[in-house]
Structure 1
Amino acid sequence: MASKGRLRKKSRFSKKSKKAWRITDIKDVEDFYEDQLLEERLGGPFSEKPDEELFFIQKDPKEEPDVTEKQKVRRSTRQEKKKRALEPPKCFMILENTSKVPDPISKRNTVRTKEERKSNIQKDIEEKLRKRGVLKRKEILAAKNRLLNKKRAAKKNDPYNFSKDVWENEIRDEAKTEWLDGDTVRHYVTNTGKLEVKTPKSIQKKPSALPNIENPHPGVSYNPAPNDHNHLLQIVADKELKLIKEEKHLDRVTSAKFSKITREEAMNNWLAEMSQGLINDDDGNNENEEDTDEYKPVNPPALLKRKPLKKKKKAKLLRQEEFEKQKQRVEKKKIADLYKLRFMEREILRGEEKSAVLQEKRKINKVEGLTKTKKLGPKKFSEPLPEFKRPHELKKNLRSLNPEGSILTDRFYSLQKRNIIEPRVRARQKKAKVKKFFKAGHKLDDLEKL
């Protein structure tokens, strides 16, 4: 038995397998290497760095030259701005390598440019050709472009250069001036091909003056005032009565006009109508007719009789008398119109008053037409009934209130009302007529007998 005061002997075991290696404590080694890597990232160990990098000398402010505080601020701000302008943007700071660890691969393969790949012999040949004046096509084009740019710059600066086109600028800027007529601008624009296609007025203007979202009736609120709610119920009741009246009118002028009859009576009436003209009742009259073989034309030719000379002269005199009478009537009417000038003035004034009234009516109709719904399709727009609740359905809070209506249906009817889409009705699918029959293998003898 080992005593308590004595140290425990370190156990020894075999380190032959990997399992035994895990038991060893290597934390001190890992800490050493982590410290070493941190020092490398920061620029090497502090023990090897010179004193100038680790410390700085504090200067006495009295030794500095006499400069005012404003000048110090100005100089500092100017210098900082200049330094910032030279520095790269801060957004690229993430891409920079902050580690001080040197690159393990110092020598890397670099891709040489086309000029670097040329041999010295080729470079000498090209230099000799250039001195003689033999240039490549690219170099010739570049030289030409340089000359053209110089000439253009000289022309721009030359005050006596009259080669500039007066109509080079677009006419749209000059069209705003007062001295240009609208016809002149239109003529120039059409002939130079700069005419802009105008958008139609139907696209520029709204199809309706109604607002996109109309304020609902105050009676629709979940907690409305009694008067507002009663007014809303009155509107709904009036619309319902109007619809009932229309239905009664249609029933009165259509189905009420026809009397109900049995199937036998309808069949007898149909037979009577279909047998009209089949049975000949005039058999006795046909016997009395005489059968003659003589041909009689339907339209016998008229005999041309020559008009006597006396009748011709008489007709000529009548025509002359009629012409003279017509002439006298025209002259009388002219004299009568002179006396009618006073009445004509009154008629003109009345006509002007009527036209003024009509113009005012047209203006009013035009203003009202902006808010009216047009008939864009075969079906007429009918405004739906407003959402409402009966007095006993109103609740004290929103939580217990059942919602009415839908936002999508409200927007759908709003688009129809504002003439954006034509009034539509939901298309209902027709049910296919199913033909029932017994298959040959499913027939039974009892069913065949029946």
Structure 2
Amino acid sequence: MVSTEQIRNKRKRVSKKNKKSWRKNTEIQDVEKFLEAKLREERTGGAPTDKKNKDLFFIDKSDIFETSKSKLASMKCHTELQIDTRVAPVVGRLGPSKKKKKKKPQQDVSMVTNSDNKKSGCVYDIWGASIEKKITKELDPCLPPPFLPPAFYKGSDTKLSAVEVPHPGSSYNPTFTDHQDLLQSALDVEEKREKEKAKATRDAAPPIQITEEDYIKEMSIGLKEVEHESESEPEVNEEDVCKSGVYIRKTRSQRNKEKAEKLKTEEAAAAKETKQYLHQINRIKALKKEIRKEENEREEQTLERQAKKTINETRPGKYGPGKFIGAEPEFLLPEEVSSSLRQLVTPANNVQDRFTSFQKRNMLEIRKKVAPHRKYKLKKVEKWRKKLPEEMDELVKMKRKKRKINMTE
């Protein structure tokens, strides 16, 4: 007879070809128990077999049995008999308490935490440098340090205002000069556009037509016969003689001539230097003028540089491939200007104005307007069921003719 223990301990025949069946049909209870026991030992300070006796046992030297009744009452076993102070008693309405509130010592404003701030209502700098030391002490050392944003966070790098003041000539009842200034600015914009168009047409002009004679002249350059120079006897120089290795001794008169020429050149160079020196001494006034002129030029350059810097502070930056094109000046012709505010027609679009303002203040990148377009071309399919019977017959005839032509070929 087979016992029940043998039936229980009988090995199951199951497949373990994938992870799911492997997890399902493997017994890991003993491994989990062993790991839990090991973790418990690590939490409690290690295995008891590795510990010493002084770590496991201690001698109780307290005088519990010789203490008074007040000490016995404070024992843990007697706490259940005492009243639970955590449950507040049911009490009627009480008057104002006569106890004086103790004044809390004043804390540093920069070291007050969030929870204290809600109670006290004081103001503190959350991005200050002094709060960093307090945070590093209180936070968990395993966590990363808090992120401190830079000074220019949530700010624009331009000095432009969010809403610009419009030109005074665009008001409903402008003065003559203001209105003429506005029209002049609009005229300048239009002239600039016309110049760009003319330049584009000029650059795209047809090439100059080259005639056959010009082509022949250009291609025949360098093909003319070169006249041979008359053969002349080569002149013999002293340098060539020296290079050849043959040395001809100079006479005394030749050496004297060379010395005299050398002295003359040296004297002329010295005289020239003295002359230049005296000329510079006499040119002190002219040099002072040149220095003043250079200083004035440098001052002008610095002023131009500062003006460019101020313009760049209000100029939109380049944060994309597109180029910022500002809105054109809005104007009304003299006959369109009305003297009353009711009859005034505002051509401005507030949404477009806000969008261009964001781009001008470097809060949005320059974007191009994408027109609606198809990604793929439309396919044309000819449906025969939509055609008339006469057209159907013609198409069938055409197909038959094509087949005959192909067969004959």
TM-score w.r.t. length of structure 2: 0.39
TM-score of the two chains, using structure 1 as the length reference: 0.36
Report the structure, 1 or 2, having the larger helix content: 1
